[in-house]
Structure 1
Amino acid sequence: MTDKNIVPEIPPNMVFRPRLQKIFEDNYKLRRIIYVSAYMGWGKTTAVVEWLTEKKRDAVWFCLEDQIKQTVINSLLTEMNGNSSDRIIVIDNYNLLDEKELEYMNLIITQSNRRFIIISRAELPKMLSVYVGLSVHLIGIDQLRFYESEIVEYFEKWNVSLSDQEISQLNSNQKGWVGSYRYTASLMQAMGESYNRKIQLKALECIYQYLDVELLDKLDRVEKKVMLTVGCFDRLTGEQADLLLDSPNAHKILERFTRRGCFFTFLLPDVYVQHPFFKEYLTYTRSRFLAEDEIAEIYKTAARYFEKKKDTARALECYMNAKEYDGVIRILIQLSKYEVGQTDLWKNRSYYYRLPEELIKKEPALCCGMAMLGIISFHLEQANKWQAYLEEQLKILPENTPERTEVYEKLAYLSIAMPNTSMVNFLNTMKNWAKKVKYEDLQMQKANITWNSPSVANGGRDFTPWLKKAKWIKRPMDAVVIALYGDYGIGVLDVAVAECYYQQDKIQEALVQVISAVSYIEQKGSIIILFAAMTVQMMIMMLLGEIATAKPMLENMRDKITSAKAYFLYPSLEAVCAWVAMYENNYERVEYWLKNDAPDENATFSTLDIFRYNVKLRGYILFEKYYLAIGLAEKLRTVCIAFHRNMDLAQLDMLLAIVYHRMGQKDKAEEYLTEALIRGEKYGYIRLFADEGESLYKILKNFKERPSISKKYLKQVKEATKKIAVLYPSYMILPNNQDKLSASETEVLNLMALGKANNEIADYLNISLNTVKFHIKNIYSKLGVNNRFQAVHTARDKRIIK
């Protein structure tokens, strides 16, 4: 359309979308301006036309185009000054206005009393954004995207039937983008094939050609260079754009891209974020316009800038993209020196794996890193290979040379940091290196003692075999730890001893020890050790029945972690929160953690996550996913045996005892519990068992004496477990499943309580009528009722709904 002011026709094969029409209609009654914003190909114009046509709204249409823009604007102004006050004014391609035109149009639109539909590829202008929720309503990608039912209906228009798997794949690959479905449906129809990789790539090729014509080909030479250059990055600032292009005006072109809806979003104070799909397109397109050395130079320039700004993550990415291996190696070596080395190592593992092996062998720090990656990923053959390589280097390098000293240092570090080395080697290395640091002015690379778990005694290594001797070992080992690690070692032994007292159920001694440690660590120590100390303190408060005191401690932990910028501790903190939520019977919080934050044992396995896996194991038990619990436990067992993790082995057997007891296999449950208690008595674990409360006490109260377990120890465990069972009777136990409604069922029930009919509920939730009926049937069954009135009344009585 140009300036003919005629509403366009609905394109063929489009689906009727009542859901979207309702959004337009509801807001048309409440707002004077509806601003429809999305990138090209999202069906903005079609959505507006469909609503105008279906609701028979009187409208005049103005489509801005570069060649005749001023003519259209003049016609628009004439219309605004006319007498047809009831007629809707639609302005399409609003993103084509330049800065001055945009400012002028925003001003006259906000001052007018007419109703407007504005269609734009750009975000809502600042001048209009202040009116959102008042006179302006924004419709964006989230509303325009195709829902699954709409995808099915659209493909049926092309005589293409989709399976559930194809619907899921399309939804995942194309994210509801309307334009992409047109290409995919037409290709599937023409080729007579189901949705496959070939169709996906062919559709992508069509989309890229569309972007070439509609966007890239319309840019001038300078604009094209800017877009191809900044397109190398997910996000960048105006300053970075000027630097990369060696031009003081590059950021102005970026501003123009944002204003015209070219897949860039501006965030305050000076950040431009590129749409991921568009970055993929520019990556595909870039090689057609820029030579390899030009692309490499872009990445090198950016890498140097990011490294200077200490943005190591982006510097690494850029150096690797430029194949500038010296830069990658330099940063990886620097990161390995920090106390959170294992965390950075795991986060950056792809860079280690992509480096040529001959370059890794030249750097002992990288060889050490590869060995540690083998430990973290539980590929022990890789760990042994690189440790053996360093040992060979130690044999052939000349004495008293810096090269040999560095190799020796890395081997010593591996003896301390690798949990599969024996306790004897660990202790000897610690003592020897403490002397070397003191008398030979050598430095030991810092090892993360806890591996980010909230424990020192059972963190990166299981120190609980010392549990019964902790008090006597503390003083001599204190000096060794401080000599090796300086301030990072402050409080390490204090927290370990407090944990040992706690496990032995010596609660008063544990509390005194940890309170004094927390105060000291807060002043001078590491946030990693403080996290472990505060977790012990919190567990003691919960044991004393002070869960109201314990909860604020979690927020205090979060504040301190945030203040220290120790964001790598967040995953473990969230796991602690989920565990506490089990004691509070906050099942929604646990369910959310399992779904969104818990580690996936079936993806890339990481031994850094052992604590989090153990919490997840409890989550599986809570929600009665027993076979998943067994699978995870047996996977962890292999790691725990290799790493000599006695406490975790006892924990696994104890949790499996609970699993099998709940499955009705009581003999098997007692077998596992027997193994757990034998190990527990050997190392002095009491609270490990006691803290499981009612779930374990159900087995213990009928547990017969065994020659392999002393009566005294069994009595201690039973009594301590019974106290927690009384204090937290619902810990790890779901309420009656009869009352447990799903989120969808609760949503339907709330709408029933508001008096909505089935078809109204279906329309409101954008689900089919049959789905609503299915949910209602489940609600009646779970609540034990026969009609709507009973369902609502019962749900309110049980406080399922308000």
Structure 2
Amino acid sequence: MLYNDSYYIRPKEASRKLSMAYKIRTPVYMYGVTGSGKTALVKDFLAHKKYSVFSAAKVSPEEINISKDGKEKIVVIDDLHFVTGVSERKSYEELIIKLLEQGNIWLLLISRSPMPGWLISIYIHYAFITIPESDFYLTREEQILFLKENNIILNEKQEDEIIKFTEGFPIAIRLLAINGGDLRTATQELCNYLESYVYDQWDIELQEFFMQTSIVDNFTEELASMITGKSNVAVLLARAQEMGNFFVSDGVNGIWEYRWQMRDSMRLRLKKKWNNERINPLYHHAGLYYEMHDKIPEALSMYEQCNDKESISRVLIANARKNPASGHYFEMRKYYLSLPEEKILENPLLIAGMSMLQSMLMNIDESERWYEALKDFAKTHICSERREAKSRLLYLDIGLPHRGIVNLVDILKHAGTLIKDRGATLPEFSVTSNLPSMMNGGKDFCDWSKHDNELAASIGIMVEFVLGKYGKGLVSLALAESYLEKGMDGYRVMTLAEKGKLAAESGGKIEQCFVATGILVWLSIINGNADYAEEQLLVFRERAEKEAERLLFNIDAMLCRIYLYQCKYPKINEWMKTAPQENAEFSTMERLRYLTKARVYLQMGKLNQACSILEKMLYYADVMKRTYIMIESYLLLSIAWYRMGRKDWTVNLQKCIDMSEEYGFVRIISREGIAVIKLLKSNKLVWKNEDFKNRVISECAQMAEFYPKYLERGTDGEIKLSENALKILKMQAEGMSIKNIAERLSIKESTVKYHCGETYRKLNAKSKLEAINEARKRNLI
């Protein structure tokens, strides 16, 4: 296949700015990494004009002399990124000022990096027009045209793959054309290009720094220092910035990230130039950094890369000391499950960890098998190993998720006696599992809610004692939540929640504060003040960012629940981008986020997807004895079935009502307000308690009045656009004109205009820009 080297497409935005600068003779500073097309644009633009071009890499400032003969001249100074010495920079600074002051010179400066600090004062004083690298990127239309000119015809799927590869980057498109559209070969050629034309021009120290830090996807200065062993990381990063625009994140929030082309090519370079003996310590040091910062899955990944089995084993044992809320059991399951059984049986921590992990994975028989193995270990060992095993057995008796709360009162009393009388110690527990609930947290305590006051009086103090820091404020918060669910006096609920919050803040755990905040947030929502609920939760989120990042996922899920009441669709769509993938392996620790996602699907009208999640949740609730989640899932499933037109929707709602009546839970139903009130009035439903029915329907009516569009089908970003309308909108976002869109889709321009008008109307937009922005907010494009 022949490559047409004569075909050139001017990047629109860069060309527009250059033309504007030429008309008014404003100096220009353009930058971009090698291969972005800077020099090519200048050559094409000045093809029929006289101009002088100098490379700062080859010519000293003293050699550049432009006569003052009054004639207008065009001067191009390229490769400014090579000007690194202090005296050399000073000389070039003086030269640039001299040229600009002559009055007859249109000056173009070209570099690989954004405007450097040593030129900032000139840049501001002489009002340069900047043409950044992004302006040189080609649109989808331009890329496809370029490839067509080189006899590469693609279907839409192939186009998508190529656009993802090139990202509009000119050299990538050119290499793709040269290689006949072969992505693999083009990728290799791109790496070779960077190797020959970029990296070899750097000093050895900078080359090695890039190679070493490329082993991670992104890094902080501290991580880079730990990987490389260098103390001058900040200096090296500053030099790297001056050498070119190689970062997608250049220190924003302390994070540095290479462009994928740079990262991948540097990884290849590292493997080519260094042997494993030199590479493995890099991964080991990165693993240590992640381990020190409690980024355990990342640490394991690094240790795995360098085959550091000793460190992997150490990390797995350390994680087994933690409870499921603070540990990383699910994320590390691959490593646990690959351990040889004989290795596990040597350590009581690993045995207990396996029992807990298998319970979390809903492998009940396996969990109990490992529990029995731990009992055997306790019988056959002595001294500290025996004490450790017994401590872990007691921990599992209380904490194994699948066992529910059967006999838990007796187990807790026994634990209290052992701690008080025999000096026994227990590993740290999490009652909440990072959820904003005691009743529906680490375990389901709905059955205790039936006797809340009695249990609080009889075992409350003992439970708080056994749980240590996690017990601070527990009784007050448990009562507050129980009263909240039963629809009891709001002021009493608030008083107990605030009391529990203060207790937790006085030497307790932030997880309990999350429960208190969750209760107060629900009180605000129930009273029609979702905006204040959002404010409360955002304030707590700021604290969690500093003290407990592990809570953020569930805080954000709860925020999304609030957004559903507020109908803040862009925020809901933003949350959906981070929501767990329900079709991947089911994680029991994601239960709050799964149920939140099911509600979003209901609002989107994606009923099959909602049902898929809810059926999984019902299975989980049954296996793991989760009454509250079972009630909630039946309720949401009844809404989904009703909206699907299924006549048997009442089966699910009846189960929900029967269980809610048994426990006296009003709010679990009434929270759904307008989404369920019509269903509740069906004469096919049987209520055993008329007073309970009236309270539920009354509160539902109140919630419906407060939030009339809650879960209203089709009111989110799921605006229905036809296939052609979506294609047109995407092409508009890529900068294509109506004429070009019509040609591309082989339809009339009037048809394109019609689709545009309909799209603007549906998005409530007055212009193309508004429509594109709104579509992006709604995750349509």
User: Shorter chain as normaliser: what TM range?
Assistant: 0.7 to 0.9
Deviation at 1:609, TM superposition (A): 1.3
Partner deviation per Cα, 1:730-781 (whole Å, 9 max, x = no partner): 22225879996989999x99xx9xxxx967999xxxxx96895254242477
SS of equivalent residue, structure 2 residue 602: helix
| Amino acid across the alignment from 2:37 | G
| 1:39 maps to 2:33 | yes
Indicate conservation of the 8 Å contact 1:689/1:717, yes or no: yes
Q: By how many angstroms is 1:277 displaced? A: 3.4
Does residue 78 (structure 1) correspond to residue 65 (structure 2)? The answer is yes
Where does residue 214 of structure 1 map in the other structure?
A: 197
Structure 1 CA distance for aligned equivalents of residues 326 and 221 of structure 2: 34
- Corresponding position of 2:777: none
- Match of residue 145 from structure 2: 153
Residue 760 to residue 209, structure 1, CA distance change in 2 (3 Å): closer
Match of 2:109? 118
- Whether 2:76 is the aligned partner of 1:90: answer yes
In structure 2, the residue matched to 1:538 is 521
Equivalent residue number for residue 475 of structure 1? 457
In structure 2, C-alpha distance between the alignment counterparts of 1:31 and 1:355, rounded to whole Å: 70
CA contact (8 A) 1:41 1:178 kept: yes
Q: CA deviation at 1:231?
A: 3.7
Where 1:90 maps in the other structure, the secondary structure is: strand
Which whole-Å deviations, capped at 9, do the CAs of 1:554-575 have from their partners, x for residues lacking one?
22212222342x1221121111
Cα offset, 1:304, TM superposition: 5.2
**SS at structure 1 position matched to 2:625:** coil
| Cα offsets for 1:178-214 (capped at 9, x unmatched) | 323333333336xxxxxxxxx4333332223223322
Report the more deviating stretch, 38-47 or 303-312: 303-312
- Please provide the CA RMSD for this pair: 4.2
| 2:179 corresponds to which of 187, 200, 218 | 187
1:701 to 659, 681, 685: 681
Check 1:11–1:729 CA distance in 2 against 1; reply closer, same or farther (3 A cut).
same
Q: Is the 8 A contact 1:31 1:136 kept in 2?
A: no
Task: Flag the 1:210–1:175 CA change in 2: closer, same or farther, 3 A.
Answer: same
Q: What is the match of residue 96 of structure 2?
A: 109
> Any idea what the Cα deviations from partners look like across 1:433-482, whole Å, max 9, x if unmatched?
23222233332222332222211111221111221211211234433333
2:421 corresponds to: 439
Counterpart code for 1:160: I
Structure 1 position 133, deviation (Å): 12
Partner of 2:268 in structure 1? 284
1:623–1:714 distance in 2 versus 1, CA, 3 Å: same
Aligned residue type for 1:366: L
Give distance in 2, aligned partners of 1:171 and 1:352. Answer: 39
Is the Cα contact below 8 Å between 2:435 and 2:441 reproduced in 1?
yes
- Alignment-derived partner of residue 365 in structure 1: 349
How far 1:713 moved relative to its partner?
A: 2.7
Q: Which amino acid in 2 is paired with 1:280?
A: D
Mapping of 1:551-630 within 5 angstroms? 551-564=534-547, 566-594=548-576, 596-630=577-611
Distance in structure 2 (CA, Å) of the matches to 1:249 and 1:521: 43
Kindly indicate whether the alpha-carbon contact (under 8 Å) linking 1:11 and 1:46 is maintained by their aligned counterparts in 2: no
Distance change (3 Å), C-alpha of 1:401 and 1:696: same
Q: Counterpart of 1:89 in 2: which secondary structure?
A: strand
Whether 2:631 is the aligned partner of 1:650: answer yes
Distance 1:103 1:345, change over 3 A: farther
1:730 maps to amino acid: K
**Structure 1 pair 170–711 and aligned structure 2 pair: CA distance change class (3 A):** same
Describe the SS at the equivalent of 1:188: coil
Q: 1:668-718 CA deviation, whole Å, 9 max, x = no partner?
A: 222221111111112221111011111211111233452x63333323322
5+ unaligned residues in a row in structure 1: which ranges?
1-9, 190-198, 763-767, 796-802
- Which residue type is aligned with residue 484 of structure 2? Y
Per-residue displacement from partner, 1:96-121 (whole Å, max 9, x unpaired)?
22232345434653673554433323
Change (3 A) 1:485 1:223: same
Higher mean C-alpha deviation, range 708-717 or range 445-454: 708-717
Q: Distance in 1 between matches of 2:428 and 2:750?
A: 61
- Name 2:412's counterpart in structure 1: 430
Q: Distance in 1 between matches of 2:213 and 2:251?
A: 16
Deviations 1:217-274 (A, max 9, x none): 4456666545443443455677876776667778766654443238467638998654
Aligned equivalents of 2:183, 2:341: Cα separation in 1: 36
Give 1:617 shift.
1.1
Secondary structure of 1:481 counterpart:
helix
Higher RCO (CA 8 Å, separation ≥ 6 residues): 2
Judge which range, 417-426 or 672-681, deviates more: 417-426
Report the Cα distance in structure 2 between the residues aligned to 1:647 and 1:761, rounded to whole angstroms.
Answer: 53
How far has the Cα of 1:624 moved from its partner?
1.2
The CA deviation at 1:540 is 0.9
Call closer, same or farther: CA 1:689–1:37 in 2, change over 3 Å: same
Greater CA drift, 356-365 or 32-41: 356-365
Counterparts of 2:651 and 2:5, CA distance in 1:
69
- Residue equivalent to 2:619: 638
Which residue does the alignment assign to 2:532?
549
8 Å contact from structure 1 (residues 234, 275) kept in 2: no
Counterpart residue identity of residue 581, structure 1: Y
Aligned partners of 2:655 and 2:555: how far apart in 1?
30
Between 98-107 and 448-457, the greater mean CA deviation after superposition: 98-107
Q: Which amino acid in the other structure matches residue 179 of structure 2?
A: L
2:495 maps to amino acid: V
Query: Once the 2 structures are TM-superposed, how far is the Cα of residue 720 of structure 1 from its aligned partner?
Result: 2.1
Deviations 1:641-663 (A, max 9, x none): 11111111111111122122223
Match of 2:704 among 701, 705, 725: 725
Equivalences for 1:332-411 in 2 at 5 Å? 332-337=316-321, 341-349=325-333, 352=336, 359-378=343-362, 383=367, 386-395=370-379, 397-398=380-381, 400-411=382-393
Measured after TM superposition, the shift of residue 623 of structure 1 is 1.6
Q: What amino acid maps onto 1:45 in structure 2?
A: T
Name the CA shift for 1:367/1:628 in 2 (closer, same or farther; >3 Å): same
Distance 1:590 1:208 in 2: 40
Aligned partner (choices 158, 168, 172) of residue 164 of structure 2? 172
Change (3 A) 1:512 1:324: same
Task: Pick closer, same or farther for the CA change 1:38–1:739 going to 2, 3 Å.
Answer: closer
Query: Which stretch shows the higher mean deviation, 199-208 or 496-505?
Result: 199-208
Say if 1:233 and 1:274, in contact at 8 Å, map to a contact too. Answer: no
The residue type equivalent to 1:683 in the other structure is Y
Q: Secondary structure at the match of 1:91?
A: strand
TM-score, with structure 2 as normaliser: 0.84
Percent identity, aligned pairs only, is 23
Contact map agreement 2:428 2:467 (CA 8 A) in 1: yes
CA displacement 1:534-586 (0-9 Å, x = unmatched) = 1111211221233343232122212222342x122112111111111222222
Match of 2:745 in 1: none
Asked whether the equivalents of residues 7 and 149 of structure 2 are also in contact (C-alpha less than 8 Å), the reply is yes
Q: How far apart, in 1, do the equivalents of 2:261 and 2:764 lie? A: 49
For each residue in 1:595-617, what CA deviation from the matched residue of structure 2 results, as whole angstroms up to 9, or x when unmatched? x2222212343211111111111
Paired residue secondary structure (2:402): coil
CA contact (8 A) 1:507 1:540 kept: no
Q: Are the aligned partners of 2:721 and 2:759 in contact in 1 as well (CA < 8 Å)?
A: no
Could you tell me which runs of 5 or more consecutive residues in structure 2 were left unpaired when the two chains were aligned: 743-747, 775-781
Mean Cα displacement is larger for which, 519-528 or 19-28?
A: 19-28
For residue 425 of structure 1, report the CA deviation from its aligned partner. Answer: 4.8
Distance 1:129 1:29, change over 3 A: farther
Whole-Å Cα distance in 1 between the matches of residues 338 and 403 of structure 2? 28
Query: Partner of 1:528 in structure 2?
Result: 511
Secondary structure in structure 1 of the residue aligned to 2:414: helix
Asked if structure 1 preserves the Cα contact closer than 8 Å seen for 2:51 and 2:75, the reply is yes
Provide the TM-score with structure 1 as the length reference. Answer: 0.82
